[in-house]
Amino acid sequence: MSYIPPSAPPPTQGRWLARFRLRHCKSVGRGCRVLGKIWVHGRGKIEVGENVLFDARLAPIELQAKTHATLRIGNNCVIEGGSSLEAVDSIAVGDGCHLGPFVKIMDNHHHNSTGNRKERPPSSPVSLGPNVKVGAHSILLPGAQLGEGALLEERTVVSRKIPAGAHIQGNPPRIVKKETTPPKPEEPST
Domains of the chain, by residue range, sit at 26-168
Tell me the backbone φ, ψ of residue 16, rounded to 5 degrees: -70, -30
Domain 26-168 has CATH 3.40.1280.10: no
pLDDT (0 to 100) of residue 183: 45
Nearest to 97 by CA among 159, 19, 150, 25: 150
Q: How far is residue 100's CA from residue 59's CA, in Å, rounded to a whole number?
A: 12
Q: How far is residue 74's CA from residue 83's CA, in Å, rounded to a whole number?
A: 16
Confidence of residue 187 (pLDDT cuts 50, 70, 90): low
pLDDT (0 to 100) of residue 21: 85
Q: Which residue has the higher pLDDT, 14 or 90?
A: 90
Provide the H-helix boundaries in the chain. 15-21
pLDDT digit string, tens, across residues 71-127:
999 999 999 999 999 999 999 999 999 999 999 999 987 655 666 656 666 788 999
pLDDT digit string, tens, across residues 22-65:
888 889 999 999 999 999 999 999 999 999 999 999 999 999 99
The pTM is what?
0.81
Non-local CB neighbours of 166 within 8 Å, separated by 6+ positions? 147, 150, 151, 175, 177, 178, 179
